[in-house]
Every structure is written in C-alpha cells, then in structure tokens.
Amino acid sequence: MEWLQRGREMNKGYELINFCEFDKYAVKSYCAIHNVDENLNLGDITKIDENNLPYFNFICGGSPCQDFSVAGKQQGARWTCQECGEEYNPITVHYSKRDCCPKCGSKNLDKTRSSLLVEWLRIIRANKPNFGLYENVKNIVGKKHKETFNLFIKELEEYGYNCYWKVLNAKDYGVPQNRERVYVLIVKKELDNNEFKFPKPIQYINWNEILESNPNESFYLTDSEINKVLNTKFSKETYKNNTLDIFNQLKNNSCNIDFLIGDYRYDEGFRVRDNNCSPCLNTKSISTSLSGKPIIIKDGKARNLTPLELLKLMGFDSKDVENVTKYNITLNQIGKQAGNSIVVNVLYEIYKEIYKTMPYLFDDLKVSSYFSGIGAFEKALDRLFEDINKGEI
C-alpha cells in the first residue's frame, strides 16, 4: 500500500484516499494537476467492492450528466432488462432489491450513464462518510427528472443524512461563465448543527484574468469558417440579422467590436446572451467543428477559446494547463475535460460556508472522489486549506 501513502502525503490539509475516473485522458490530466499516481484511481465504479475500501470521511462527485442534460438524450436514471425488455428507474426500487429486474428477476441489466448516481449511493451506504458534496446539471430538478432527484434525496435521508441543495450559477461566484448547476450537501444528522446556508452571490467577474493576451493564430476563425457562418440556413430568425451583420463586418475587416462573446450553431447563428459571460461550456468547446463552440470577438477579430481560457473558466489556472500539456493531452481532450468539469470557484465558496458553520467536519479529512474528471472538488479543497493556513478564513 506504499502508493496509497504517497498519494496521501502529496496533499496538504487533507488526505486523498482515492479517486474514481473512467476516461483515460481525464485520469492523466487529473494526476498531472494534483501530482498523484494513477494507482490511486479506482477505475470503473460499477466494479468497485464498496465493502473493501479504505476509510474515508468525505465523499464528493458529480455523476455523468448526459442523461439529465437538456443537451443530452434525457433518458434519466434508467435501466433496461436484457432478458425481458423491462425498463425501470432504479431509484424507484428499494436498494435491497435494485439489482434485479422487478419483472423477471434477471440481473442482466443495461444501465444509463446517469444511473451511475445509484453507484454513488451504493458507496455511501456501505461506508457512511461524515459528509459529502454532489453536483449535477440543473435539469435534474426540472419537471422531467424531479421525481428521480426527490427519490435520490429521500434515500440519502434514509441512510441518516440531512440534505441541502440549491441551483447556483458560476457567474455569481467569480467566473464569467453562465453555468447553472445543482449542488447537494449531505451531512450525518448527528453531526449537523443545522446552521449551513449556501453562499450568497459575490458577483465578481473579470475577463482580463481569463483571456490570453497573445493567443496562437490557429485559434482565430478562418475566412472559410466565416463564410460557413454567412451561408447558414437559419432555422431561427432570432439571430439571423445579428449574425449576418457581425460576420459580414469580420469578412470585410470593418468590425469595430471591442469585446463580445457568444456561441455559434449552424442552424441558429451567432448567439449573444450576456456580454459579460461565456455561454455554458460543453464537451465541444474545442472541436474540429465550428458549431457549438464559444466564440470571442475582440478587437475586431473572431476566435475560439484557448485551452488556458477554457480551464480558467472552470476555475483552474495556468499552472494546471502547463501540467496537463506536459502529457501531450490534445486540445480536443482539454476542451472535453473543461466541459465535463465543475467550476472550482463555486465549490470553494460552498466549502467556505461549510467550514464556517461546521469546521469540525474538516478535522483529519480523508477524501474519496468519484466521477472525478480533472479534480475540481480537490482543487477547491486545496484553495480552502491554503486560505485557512493563511488565516484568511
């Protein structure tokens, strides 16, 4: 277990017991950012023996959002029996009977990615950490999926936890990105003093801390890409005039826009929703396709966001980007990792409020991280303990 001890010693203020990530590129980025060995990775959560894990007292994670996101298939937490074809929401079945088809009893089940939240529950049920923090897309509390979310909360309460949840937007917590997410804090009932409140907005946005001063020319839109925009067949007239006006100016080198950010979709055009905020990043924020990516128009030129800007919009920093690029992680992978991550600043503000009301939860903190991505929960913890040690909290 020497590798486990190494992983613990590399963190100040808390011990990273393990992390759990399936994507091999995200694993490399995680290890580069947090300076830990890949042996700490538990891998596929469905293959973890929940009764044979080292002790931990804090659990964090955000299960894959594709089946709850409005941009995904919205299948929700759904399992399908491969024997009889029965489809069911595993959350609606008591955990003692969950792994068998309610109709035929078969254990041969096809599980959606977002039903991995059931696996997170399995880990909690067996290990009973003191507290935990969970994140997912806003749509999980929307009309279509609210029943699943309510049952998720009810099950955690059955395990002996008090649950607090709220939708928070990254643009209210120091990052210029319009990204609404649901955050759930769970605390053992016997440890909860009932004083926790989610952080109030701080409304601090500074683009100068995000943008690179001299981005590589490869990030600027080519004449061909601008022509593609101008030749769009608009399915929505809302953005047509705005798109044609701006991109004709770009084509003719007559654009006098100082700063503007939005995103472009082939069937809609260029969408500007908030001049001060990036649209919500997704896994296509860097890709070979122009559609779906944030576009900055600055000093009369249009370009894509750089890897540094994408990771900064998620609360990471230039040192993290430097560490990741050492491992030859591609631009597409960095874009995907940013889109799949969680905004560090929001997690940090939540941690601060937990620490202010229940500082004893952070004593001898031992962390088990699931669906870890590139480790936003851990990055926020690093920042928290740095500020605690400096006496700023």
The rounded distance, in Å, linking the Cα atoms of 304 and 213 is 14
User: Which residues are marked as active site?
Assistant: 65
Q: How many alpha carbons fall within 13 Å on the CB side of residue 317?
A: 7
The answer to whether residues 249 and 283 touch, using CB atoms and an 8 Å cutoff, is no
Nearest to 157 by CA among 182, 189, 115, 127: 189
Provide CB contacts within 8 A for 24, sequence distance 6+: none
Edge-to-edge strands, sheet with 79-81:
87-88, 79-81, 109-111
Q: What are phi and psi of 22, to 5 degrees?
A: -90, -35
Q: Roughly what angle, to the nearest 10 degrees, separates helices 376-389 and 344-357?
A: 50
H or E, element range at 80:
strand 79-81
* Neighbour tally for 272: CB within 10 Å: 16
CA dihedral (21, 158, 50, 147) in degrees, to 10, reads: -40
Provide CB contacts within 8 A for 322, sequence distance 6+: none
Reading phi first (left if > 0) and then psi (alpha if -120 to 50, else beta), residue 35 is in left
Q: Exposed e or buried b for every residue in 89-98, given b needs 16+ CB within 10 A?
A: bbbebeeeeb
The rounded distance, in Å, linking the Cα atoms of 82 and 108 is 6
Q: Are strands 58-61 and 365-370 parallel, antiparallel or unpaired?
A: parallel
The rounded distance, in Å, linking the Cα atoms of 334 and 351 is 26
* Neighbour tally for 338: CB within 10 Å: 25
Q: Which residues pair with 137 in a beta bridge?
A: 181
